Amino acid sequence: MRFYALLVYLFLYIPIGIIVLFSFNAGRHASELQGFSIKWFGIALSNPFVMEALKTSLIVAGTTALLSSIMGTMAALGLQNVRGIVRMIFDSLIYIAIMIPGIVFGIATLVALATALDFINPMLKNIWPIILGEAPRLKLGLISIISAHTLWTTALATVIIRARVQGMDRSLIEASIDLYATPWRTFYQVTLPQIFPGILAAALLNFTLSFDDFIIAFFVAGGRTTLPIYVFASIRRGITPEINAIATMMLIVSLTLLFTSQGLLRKRK
Amino acid sequence: MDPRKKFIETLNSYKKGSISRREFLGKTGLGLATAVMAMNMPGLMGLRQANAASKLGNRVSLATWPNYHDPENLKKFTEKTGVHIQHNVFGSNEEMLAKVQAGGSPFDVMVITNYTISTYVKLGLLEPLDLSKLPNFIEANHEQVFIGEAKIGGKIYAVPKNWGTTGYVVNTKKIKDKMTTWKQFWDLTITKYSGRTIVHDYQLTAIGNALKYFGYSFNSIDPKELAEAEKLMIKAKPHLFAISSDYQPAMRNGDAWMSICWTGDGSQLHRDMPEIQYVLGKEGGELWTDFFAIPKSAEHLEAAYALTNFLLDPAVNAAEVKKHGYPATDKLTNKLLPKEMLDDPIMYPAKELLDPLEFGAAATLTSPLRAEVMARFKAA
Amino acid sequence: MAKKSSSYVTTLLLAPMAIWMTALLILPILVVLVYSFGELAEMGGYKPAFTLAQYANLPARLTAFKNTLVLAPAGTLAAFLIAYPLAYYLARTVEPRRRMILLTLVIVPFWTSFLIRTYAWMFILGGRGIPALLEFIGIEGVRLLNTPTAVLIGIVYGYLPLMVFPIFVSLEKVDESLLEASNDLGASPVRTFLQVTLPLSLPGVATACMIVFILLMGEFLIPALLGGGKVFFIGNALVDLFLQSRNWPFGSAVAITLVVVMLVIVSLYMRMIFKPGKTQDVSMI
């Protein structure tokens, strides 16, 4: 059993090991080791496109995680009070949203927004006051990525948080109401602490999904570049160890975050 | 590799700040590594200084093809102007156009091929260039045959980058047959060298050179002729190594032995691995010119003009040609090139091989038939 | 009175999701549906019309559908077969102190770029990777990159963490006393596993398989990078149609078909796995 686990871990980590190894490559190519160098870390960090792509990805993933957790929590709480047709409609919408592959969200958002913009932009041009100068042209970008991502992840968040809501101890809530706590206070002091692990898990998962998404952004990013889009472009033009350096740094950050948070949790216990 | 080349390469690698393994082992590792880091970090500060000094902004985004620029030149541009280049490469003109059509152009400078210009103009994506910002472009120094398609209604919409041909490369260590025709290319793919050929992910060249198998025009949009080409392509598909426009890595590491290929990739592969040879099919094929165009919606217009003009500078252009091995259309650039390059049969094929070649036709870009043939080929 | 205010709160709670879903899911899907009955414009894109021609053309993408419908379930199954023993090991045999670390190590790869990890496989499976190693020990002519096998390896690799996690959770929840009871009643460990542990972990398995399957049905990157344009999924067909041939109407028809296929498959799957009449939530955590 242990041996098997070891094999699986090797399978998981050999590619990552190769990525890290090549990030210290002195040569230009990501497939031929030519000595040791850490210059690619410097190159990556001083490349404004990498930094901008990283910033875009962080904004997109952060906003997506935040919005989807808020909406998911609200929906999960609201849904426990409804039955019948309303419940059925919501359940099937969530179900459909989870089932549709991400790529379709990308396409639907692209097609719908392109159609809407074809309509809105000429209109905007007509009604735009001359004093304000030239009318702005709305186009695909940050907002279209965030809305497609949020849509993709909200249903998931709802399901995760709802599992937590259903497992919640209702007697505590009733006690709180009996003690004349305001609904807000009941939520804040009784409900939220109980479902918080679910919210956190959903937010984390959705952050990861959004941060790593390529295909949806590929369709709707317009001129914006997220980190995965940047990486894809780099792979196509012949990858340099710069990309490996980025991956290594991402790995270091996520490992540090993981282990410090675990350390903190253990201390609290 | 001859010693002179080796010396220059070593010299270049020093300039780039890289350390060879031996040297690394010779000195103490850490100090040197930190020095390299420090050498690369000032990029950040340089960026800020340049920013204050120029109105170009600090970025420009370039849509181009694989292996089509000298990285040193692009770096030089950034050092000179403080403008960083976002370098995107594409597999086909169709892909580039689709990206621009779906959601506004994210690019400031685009390298597009002759046959697409009229469509870009019709779609309202290009405007006539402001030639006063491109002093390095002197029309008289380019042959009309190469630049004609960029001139519409007397106005110039794009300036030439390079010209070239589309043939195929063969690894002669693995393939002993004497290759001269497109017929051989497809026949041997299907039979003797199954699993070793790469075909472009690009309708113009993939379909065009399948059409040449039957002796039809490279640009045919005739349904019957296309159906024959499609049949051939689908028959060959299980025997292909890949469908990809970035074939250099697979040719270099020996995964693939044969690939449809553009002039410059042929030069580059042959330069590094003399056993790889470039063949123009006797039946004909494509002759093309690539152009720099600046889309109407470019966000960094000034930087776009600056980059285009920089790359057209004869000295810079000559350095580009030396690196990528595509012939230039500019006479001044050619004057700066070594004679052996101007005599290179890959870059300047013999007249009897050039004669049957055709320029791509605009109709192929918008033909739904060709798009579907390509898509069915890929999905088969 | 209390009831009224609570229904007011409920409406408020559900409103954002309802608006979001209408504006960004229902309407866009409707637009795609409308497009799928349209015609290809002269320069590419959409031209209003009402024709079934796009749907009639669907057989041209039959192979892509077939590839997806074979490799997505196969990939899901392979990932499951590899993930289950690992999840079992983590949940039931590792001492709790080390469990968190080991579990974390499964998730860490998920937190480095999917693209870069897949790229690493291009190197491993390419001419200088495994085939070169095999040549070294005398096995020649092995080709891995750009084959369905490569795509399958990429799938298993990419989705393994996603598979392990839900299974681990459901295995961890299995009540120890049930296992002890089974043991006390003289059941062999194999029997205990087959009759107690495995059935109890099924919800996690079902969830994990469904998530991976859904993601795979829309997969584009793995076949694009490890399949060399030769192993073609529906996702690749869609990218081609929208971002290369600019055939929006046909692309829309393919997208709608994909959604319908998904709806049918997943509904059947849910009906099979989860007992009818009893709503069971997919629990991930």
Question: Using CA atoms, how far apart are residues C282 and C280, in angstroms rounded to an integer?
Answer: 6
A47–B contact, CB cutoff 8 A? yes
Q: Measured between CB atoms, which of A5, A11, A215 is closest to C89?
A: A5
- pTM of the predicted model over 0.80: yes
B36–A contact, CB cutoff 8 A? yes
Q: Measured between CB atoms, which of A18, A78, A235 is closest to C14?
A: A78
Mind telling me how many Å the CA of C6 is from chain B's nearest CA? Answer: 44
Q: Which of B279-288, B304-313, C132-141, C207-216 has the lowest mean pLDDT?
A: C132-141
Testing the interface with C: which of B221, B253, B273, B373 to mutate, by most C Cβ within 10 A? B253
A237–B contact, CB cutoff 8 A? yes
For chain C, give the secondary structure using H, E and C: CHHHHHHHHHHHHHHHHHHHHHHHHHHHHHHHHHHCCCEECCCCCEECCCCCHHHHCHHHHHHHHHHHHHHHHHHHHHHHHHHHHHHHHHHHHCCHHHHHHHHHHHHHHHHCCHHHHHHHHHHHHCCCCHHHHHHHCCCCCCCCCCCHHHHHHHHHHHHHHHHHHHHHHHHHHCCHHHHHHHHHCCCCHHHHHHHHHHHHHHHHHHHHHHHHHHHHHCCCHHHHHHCCCCCCCHHHHHHHHHHCCCCHHHHHHHHHHHHHHHHHHHHHHHHHHCCCCCCCCCCCC
Chain C residues with CB-CB distance to A31 below 8 A: 123, 126, 128
- Higher-confidence residue of C43 and C282: namely C43
Query: Across residues C230-252, what is the average pLDDT?
Result: 92
Sequence ranges of the domains in chain B: 14-46, 47-163+288-342, 164-287+345-379
Closest Cα in chain C to B92: C244
CB contact under 8 A, C229 and B371: no
Q: Measured between CB atoms, which of B18, B71, B103 is closest to A140?
A: B103
A201–C contact, CB cutoff 8 A? yes
A68–C contact, CB cutoff 8 A? no
Among B281, B273, B186, residue whose Cα is nearest residue B234 = B186
Subunit partners of chain C (3 or more CB pairs within 8 A): A, B
HSE-up (13 A, CA, CB side) for residue A244: 29
Six-digit token string for C161: 């963490």
Q: Measured between CB atoms, which of A78, A93, A103 is closest to C13?
A: A78
CA–centroid distance for C107 within its chain: 16
Domain B47-163+288-342 and domain B164-287+345-379, same fold? Reply is yes
Burial class of residue A80 (count of CB atoms within 10 Å of its CB; 0-12, 13-18, 19+): middle
CB C37 within 8 A of CB C203: no
Mind telling me how many Å the CA of C132 is from chain B's nearest CA? Answer: 10
Q: Measured between CB atoms, which of A39, A49, A238 is closest to B37?
A: A39
Question: Using CA atoms, how far apart are residues C227 and C151, in angstroms rounded to an integer?
Answer: 6
Question: Using CA atoms, how far apart are residues A223 and B289, in angstroms rounded to an integer?
Answer: 27
CB contact under 8 A, C102 and A5: yes
Per-residue pLDDT of chain B (380 residues; tens, 9 = 90+): 454 555 445 444 434 434 343 333 333 333 333 333 333 333 333 343 444 445 888 889 999 998 899 988 999 999 999 998 988 888 899 989 988 877 666 789 999 999 999 999 998 899 899 999 999 999 999 988 999 999 999 999 999 999 999 999 999 999 999 999 999 999 999 999 999 999 999 999 999 999 999 999 999 999 999 999 999 999 999 999 999 988 998 898 888 999 999 999 999 999 999 999 999 999 999 999 999 999 988 889 999 999 999 999 999 999 999 999 999 999 999 999 999 999 999 999 999 999 999 999 999 998 989 999 999 999 88
pLDDT at C158: 93
Phi, then psi, of C115 in degrees rounded to 5:
-60, -45
Mind telling me how many Å the CA of A38 is from chain B's nearest CA? Answer: 6
Q: Measured between CB atoms, which of C100, C104, C285 is closest to A198?
A: C285
- β-bridge mates for residue B162, sequence order: B290
Max CA separation in chain A (angstroms): 74
CB A228 within 8 A of CB A178: no
The fold adopted by the segment(s) B47-163+288-342 is D-Maltodextrin-Binding Protein; domain 2 (3.40.190)
Q: What number of C-beta contacts closer than 8 Å exist between B and C?
A: 87
CB contact under 8 A, B89 and A233: yes
CB contact under 8 A, B99 and C243: yes
Closest Cα in chain B to C63: B380
Burial class of residue B172 (count of CB atoms within 10 Å of its CB; 0-12, 13-18, 19+): middle
- Collect all residues from C whose CB is shorter than 8 A from any CB in B: 40, 42-45, 60-61, 63-64, 126-128, 143, 145-146, 228-230, 232, 236-237, 240-247
Six-digit token string for B160: 């030439």
B379–C contact, CB cutoff 8 A? yes
Alpha helices in chain B (DSSP H): 3-15, 21-26, 29-40, 43-53, 71-81, 93-101, 117-122, 144-147, 182-190, 203-213, 223-236, 248-252, 263-272, 301-312, 314-324, 331-335, 339-342, 351-354, 362-366, 368-379
Q: What is the DSSP string of B235-285?
A: HHGGGEEEE-S--HHHHHTTS-SEEEEEHHHHHHHHHH-TTEEEE--TT-E
A241-268 vs A2-22: helix axis angle to the nearest 10?
A: 130
Residues of B numbered 127-146 whose beta carbons fall under 8 angstroms of chain C's beta carbons: which are they?
none
Buried b (16+ CB within 10 A) or exposed e, B229-249: bbebbbebbebbbbbbbbbbb
Question: Using CA atoms, how far apart are residues A29 and A246, in angstroms rounded to an integer?
Answer: 15
CB contact under 8 A, C60 and B375: yes
Helix (H) or strand (E) holding A70: helix A48-79
B33–A contact, CB cutoff 8 A? yes
Question: Using CA atoms, how far apart are residues A88 and A169, in angstroms rounded to an integer?
Answer: 24
- With a pLDDT cut of 70, the percent of chain C lying above it is 94
Closest Cα in chain C to B372: C245
CB contact under 8 A, A4 and C225: no
Among C110, C104, C101, residue whose Cα is nearest residue C211 = C110
Buried b (16+ CB within 10 A) or exposed e, B353-372: beeebebbbbebbbbbbbbb
CB A220 within 8 A of CB A140: yes
Q: Give the ipTM.
A: 0.86
Residues of B numbered 195-254 whose beta carbons fall under 8 angstroms of chain C's beta carbons: which are they?
195, 201, 237, 240-244, 249-250, 253-254
Tracing tokens 């694989």 back to the chain, one arrives at B66
Residues with Cβ < 8 Å from B159, sequence gap 6 or more? B129, B134, B137, B147, B150, B291, B292, B308, B312
CB contact under 8 A, A243 and C16: no
Residues with Cβ < 8 Å from C30, sequence gap 6 or more? none
Phi, then psi, of B335 in degrees rounded to 5:
-60, -30
Chain B residues with CB-CB distance to A41 below 8 A: 37
Sequence ranges of the domains in chain A: 52-238
- Higher-confidence residue of C244 and A65: namely A65
Testing the interface with C: which of B88, B94, B205, B367 to mutate, by most C Cβ within 10 A? B94
Max CA separation in chain B (angstroms): 69
Testing the interface with C: which of B366, B369, B374 to mutate, by most C Cβ within 10 A? B366
Residues of A numbered 171-200 whose beta carbons fall under 8 angstroms of chain C's beta carbons: which are they?
183, 197-198
Q: Is C277 left (phi over 0), alpha (psi -120 to 50) or beta?
A: left
Per-residue pLDDT of chain A (269 residues; tens, 9 = 90+): 889 999 999 999 999 999 999 899 888 766 677 888 899 999 888 888 888 899 999 999 999 999 999 999 999 999 988 888 999 999 988 988 888 999 999 999 998 988 888 888 888 878 877 777 766 767 788 889 999 999 889 998 998 898 888 888 878 878 887 888 787 888 888 888 888 888 988 898 899 889 999 999 999 987 788 999 888 888 877 667 888 898 898 888 878 877 777 777 666 55
Which superfamily, per CATH, for A52-238?
A: MetI-like (1.10.3720.10)
Question: Using CA atoms, how far apart are residues B163 and B143, in angstroms rounded to an integer?
Answer: 11
Six-digit token string for A202: 């959903």
pLDDT at A266: 66
Six-digit token string for C17: 């999701």
- Compute how many other C-beta atoms are within 10 angstroms of the C-beta atom of residue B332: 17
C179 pLDDT tier (thresholds 50, 70, 90): confident
Tracing tokens 């595509």 back to the chain, one arrives at B326
pLDDT at A265: 64
Max CA separation in chain C (angstroms): 83
CB C35 within 8 A of CB C46: yes
Q: Is A181 left (phi over 0), alpha (psi -120 to 50) or beta?
A: beta
CB C223 within 8 A of CB C122: no
CB C155 within 8 A of CB C78: yes
Q: Measured between CB atoms, which of C17, C29, C126 is closest to A108?
A: C29
pLDDT in tens, A18-73: 999 989 988 876 667 788 889 999 988 888 888 889 999 999 999 999 999 999 99
Testing the interface with B: which of C244, C254, C257 to mutate, by most B Cβ within 10 A? C244
Question: Using CA atoms, how far apart are residues B136 and B141, in angstroms rounded to an integer?
Answer: 10
Six-digit token string for A153: 């992840």
Distance from first CA to last CA of chain B, Å, rounded?
43
Among C67, C228, C133, residue whose Cα is nearest residue B197 = C228
- β-bridge mates for residue B152, sequence order: B155
CA–centroid distance for B86 within its chain: 16
CB C152 within 8 A of CB C171: no
pLDDT in tens, B17-66: 343 433 333 333 333 333 333 333 333 333 434 444 458 888 899 999 98
Six-digit token string for A224: 């914006």
Among C212, C70, C222, residue whose Cα is nearest residue C146 = C222
pLDDT at B104: 60
Testing the interface with B: which of A21, A36, A110 to mutate, by most B Cβ within 10 A? A36
CB contact under 8 A, A237 and B21: no
Six-digit token string for B100: 């621009």
Subunit partners of chain A (3 or more CB pairs within 8 A): B, C
pLDDT at A139: 76
C5 pLDDT tier (thresholds 50, 70, 90): low
Subunit partners of chain B (3 or more CB pairs within 8 A): A, C
pLDDT at B265: 95
| Cα–Cα distances in angstroms (integers) from residue A106 to residues A34, B314, C252, in the given order | 40, 44, 12
Residues of B numbered 209-228 whose beta carbons fall under 8 angstroms of chain A's beta carbons: which are they?
none
DSSP state of B150: G
Which of these CATH numbers, 1.10.287.990, 1.10.3720.10, 2.40.30.10, 1.10.10.10, describes C63-273?
Answer: 1.10.3720.10
Torsion of Cα atoms, B148 then B151 then B156 then B159, to 10°: -30
Six-digit token string for B89: 């490469």
Residues of A numbered 118-177 whose beta carbons fall under 8 angstroms of chain B's beta carbons: which are they?
137, 139-140, 144
CB contact under 8 A, C86 and A16: no
CB contact under 8 A, C220 and A101: no
Sequence ranges of the domains in chain C: 63-273
pLDDT at B44: 36
CATH class of domain segment(s) B164-287+345-379: alpha beta
